[in-house]
Amino acid sequence: MPMAFNLASDFDRALKAAAAAAGLEDASDFVPEVRTADARHGDFQANGVLGYAKARKLNPRATSEKIVAQLSGEVRDRCEITIAGPGFINFTLKPAALLEWLRTFSTREALAAGAAAAHAGQTWLVDYSSPNTAKQMHVGHLRSAVIGEAICRTLAFTGARVIRDNHLGDWGTQFGKLIHGYKRWANPAALAADPIEELERLYKLGHNATPDGSPELDEARRELVKLQNGDPENVRLWQKFTEESRLAFQQIYDRLGIRFDHFLGESFYNDKVDRVYRELGETGIAQESEGALVVFHPEHPRFKTQPFIVRKADGASNYASTDLATALYRAEHLHADGIVIVTDFRQADHFEQLFLTVKKWFTAKAYRVPELHHVSFGAVTGEDGKALKTRSGDVIRLKALLDEAEERAFAIVTEKNPDLPESDRRDIARIVGIGAVQYADLAQNRSSNYLFSWDKMLALEGNTAPYLLYAVARIHSIFRKAAVRPDDPAIEGIAIIPETPTEIALARKLTKFPDAIRLATESLRPHYLCLFLFELAGDYSSFNNADKVLVEDPPIRARRLLLCARTLLILDTGLQLLGLRTLTRM
């Protein structure tokens, strides 16, 4: 029997089969609940017998013993199995089984093939980043971009075809104000030098010049109507705003390793909302209320009275209208089996209402209903818990944050490695600095608010990207010194089973990679992967400190090189899934 990729699921299946073989009553209801265990109790632990036995008034220990007695020979050969406490079943992989797993999953392709079962044959669309055009991206835009990209990569790794869609905020009332400001105060020189900076300035001028109830606001609205009606001058301006914005955004995306498949912004759906109104009306899902078209959800405690406004009383579309049209387009034309939308938590109500409405609408029209997920994340706040500002009162620009990260990393590289040529030090600083920013965001559970501090974001020790990248660089260094490649088959040929405590701890950790991938993907929470990689790098560092790799004895040297090679493979793969780049020296 071949070695399973995810050992936890493998033991889960084995226990279910053993329960049936043992003749347990309702054996099909027995859920083994295998999970990775505290290392003190072995590698994997099954808790399910306790609940099963309790419901049937059986002795849990005796039940566990009956099940374990029926476990297949392969499982018994691979593990030490013990029954502990009230009836936990503990599996501890034998060193020979560890070596077997490491030999089986020896390449990124092998790992990906093992992971691909989760989403094979499915198409997932991820809507993330989604900034407003004609404005700079600031730190508030970081989380969606970084978390969204990590989710795209983990979904792709687990077998999905992934469509990356940037749902730009490129339509709506703000463009009336921007055109108003542009036509009065545009500075051609500034526009040529730094277009987004100038457009943002003009938008602010336009906004301040058009207070509620003012004749200027009416004028801005007329500019918007002209744009919507195809006025050539305003359409040309709008196109210019969009192009300049996309060029500026791409500079940030390039630094973060992000490449979108589509930029289908709100404007794209402008002519697709009439169908939404018609179908929601004819199916009776939407109704007129106070002049607007709204959807109530009578079965929902809150949304039975809190309306989802689908069309404004003045007949214009809003966020809800275009999001409904967007959902339909993604299901109908992009054939999405799953849709993931990455925005901050303040929009949770909106998406809950949107998804309820989409499900009713698609069901009524017999459209296939995709799996819908709102991946929300907490706000970025300053030390005082309030929205983040610089001293001058402006929000911190994303570009400035990334620049600062690279500068700080450059100072450290220069201090550590003054002899490297400057261009090398710059390259290293780029990867370390940007990686630190990405990792700082990803390592935290996305639900909680994000407390921004330069020192935390740019920390270079502890649970940070540099710690992981450093482990990778040290492994490369060993292979350079040994003058072999990590994938050299000769290593595997003579490697013997791991023996020292640090070797075994490292090997055991490596076999837990599939479970980390599963957790991160199922919950759409990349921090589970970060946690695993940090622990793996820690186990590697301990091993690196305790066991010299390049010893004379060929089999010992080979087994340690094998551990180095697999640690490198999994760290590289995992960091790449998070959207980070790695280094061969630093």
Partner RNA sequence: GCGGUGGUAGCUCAGCCGGAUAGAGCAACGGAUUUCUAAUCCGUCGGUCGUGGGUUCGAGUCCCGCCCACCGCGCCA
Site for RNA in 531-560 (CB under 7 A): 531, 534, 538, 541-542, 544-550
Q: Which of 2, 23, 40, 284 binds RNA (CB under 7 A)?
A: 40
Under the binding rule (CB under 7 A), the answer on residue 289 touching RNA is: yes
What does DSSP assign to residue 367? P
Q: Shortest approach of RNA to residue 569 CB, angstroms?
A: 17
Q: Which of 347, 369, 399, 576 binds RNA (CB under 7 A)?
A: 347
| Positions of E strands within 411-563 | 450-451
Of 235 and 482, nearer to RNA (C-beta) is 482
Taking the C-alpha atoms of residue 359 and residue 374, their distance in angstroms, rounded to an integer, is 14
Q: Shortest approach of RNA to residue 129 CB, angstroms?
A: 13
- What the block records as the tokens of 573 is 């793969």
| Positions of E strands within 142-196 | 161-165
Taking the C-alpha atoms of residue 575 and residue 586, their distance in angstroms, rounded to an integer, is 16
Q: Shortest approach of RNA to residue 30 CB, angstroms?
A: 12
SS3 assignment, position 14: helix
Of 191 and 468, nearer to RNA (C-beta) is 468
Q: Shortest approach of RNA to residue 193 CB, angstroms?
A: 28
Q: Shortest approach of RNA to residue 460 CB, angstroms?
A: 4
Under the binding rule (CB under 7 A), the answer on residue 568 touching RNA is: no
Tokens 């921090």 belong to 527
Q: Footprint of RNA on residues 244-283 (CB under 7 A)? A: 266
Taking the C-alpha atoms of residue 222 and residue 177, their distance in angstroms, rounded to an integer, is 10
Q: Footprint of RNA on residues 186-245 (CB under 7 A)? A: none
- What the block records as the tokens of 504 is 């075994």
| Positions of E strands within 20-147 | 34-36, 44-46, 79-84, 88-93, 123-127
Q: Footprint of RNA on residues 144-183 (CB under 7 A)? A: 169, 172-174
Q: Which of 187, 208, 239, 448 binds RNA (CB under 7 A)?
A: 448
Under the binding rule (CB under 7 A), the answer on residue 59 touching RNA is: no
Q: Footprint of RNA on residues 363-422 (CB under 7 A)? A: 378-379, 385-387, 409, 412-413, 416-417
Q: Print the binding letters for residues 460-489 with RNA: x by CB under 7 A, - otherwise.
A: xxxxx-xx--x--xx-xxx-xx--------
Under the binding rule (CB under 7 A), the answer on residue 312 touching RNA is: yes
Q: Which of 428, 442, 517, 536 binds RNA (CB under 7 A)?
A: 428
Q: Shortest approach of RNA to residue 189 CB, angstroms?
A: 31
Helix pair 173-185, 195-208: axis angle to 10 deg: 100
Of 478 and 578, nearer to RNA (C-beta) is 478
In this structure, the strands spanning 371-377 and 338-344 are parallel
Q: Shortest approach of RNA to residue 216 CB, angstroms?
A: 17
Number of neighbours of residue 100 by Cβ within 10 angstroms: 17
First to last CA, the chain: 42
Under the binding rule (CB under 7 A), the answer on residue 302 touching RNA is: yes
Number of neighbours of residue 512 by Cβ within 10 angstroms: 20
Q: Footprint of RNA on residues 95-114 (CB under 7 A)? A: none
- Environment class of residue 136 by beta-carbon count within 10 Å: exposed (0-12), middle (13-18) or buried (19+)? buried
Under the binding rule (CB under 7 A), the answer on residue 33 touching RNA is: yes
Distances (CA, A) of 150 to 403, 575, 576: 22, 9, 9
- What the block records as the tokens of 36 is 């990775």
Q: Shortest approach of RNA to residue 9 CB, angstroms?
A: 11
Under the binding rule (CB under 7 A), the answer on residue 318 touching RNA is: yes
- What the block records as the tokens of 317 is 């579309």
Interface stretch with RNA, choices 21-29, 158-166, 329-337, 447-455 (CB under 7 A): 447-455
The strand pairing partners of 35, in sequence order, are 45
